[in-house]
Amino acid sequence: MFTWVLAVLAQNPTYQTQLRSELRAHITAEALSNPNADLATTLESLPWLNAICYETMRLFPTVPLTRRIAIRDTEIIGLPVAKGTHFRMPVWWLNRVPALWGPDATLFKPERWIDADSGRPNNHGGAESNFALLTFLHGARSCIGQGFAKAELRCLVTAWVLAFEFSMANEGQVLVPEGVVTVKPKGGLNLKVKLAS
């Protein structure tokens, strides 16, 4: 996931600058040296940090496909499903369905995760159902480590964006996702990295 965040920030320097400004305003040397500071809560409250992380998780789910087996005879949208039926859920595709995310569903648009009225992060990205985002799945079989994964991603992104500026090493490079168990850019991600000014 972290690779994809770096990729979208390298491809979208305006968002990278916006994020760095937000982080510099809230993650100060005083805050970092205060043993009573609640850094996790601060990071969770930052609109651009969360918006960029959530939009990247939506567009580039680490696990693009999962499968389930019906444990009993049931129905899905009126269609009979027999016990033992195998389902493949294309998470990558479901996270990009225009009926759930709008006509710009395939575009990197982190502002969809910021409430227009309050300017605070939202947990829905504008989708009407929390089942529109299946990166960590839902219900009893959802990812048990999703809270940790999100917190870890926020921390990594914060540390890197405060320390470095990055851009694509090959300006016209098109990143092609590949992988089945986990998805990464084919051939890796080549960036130009310099100290943040």
pLDDT tens profile 13-53? 999 999 999 999 999 888 888 888 888 999 999 999 999 99
Q: Which candidate, 8, 4, 5, 11, places its Cα nearest to that of 171?
A: 11
- HSE, side-chain direction, 13 A CA sphere, residue 120: 6
Which 3 state secondary structure label does DSSP give 159?
Answer: helix
Please state which CATH class domain 2-195 belongs to: mainly alpha
Q: What are 178's strand-pairing partners?
A: 184
pLDDT score for 34? 84
72 pLDDT higher than 80: yes
Pairing relationship of beta strands 66-69 and 86-89 according to DSSP bridges? antiparallel
Question: What's the CA gap between 192 and 83, in Å, rounded?
Answer: 52
Paired sense of beta strands 184-185 and 177-178, if any: antiparallel
Q: Tell me how far apart the alpha carbons of residues 139 and 106 are, in angstroms, rounded to a whole number.
A: 25
Rounded to an integer, the average pLDDT of 159-183 is 91
- Kindly report the pTM of this predicted structure: 0.92
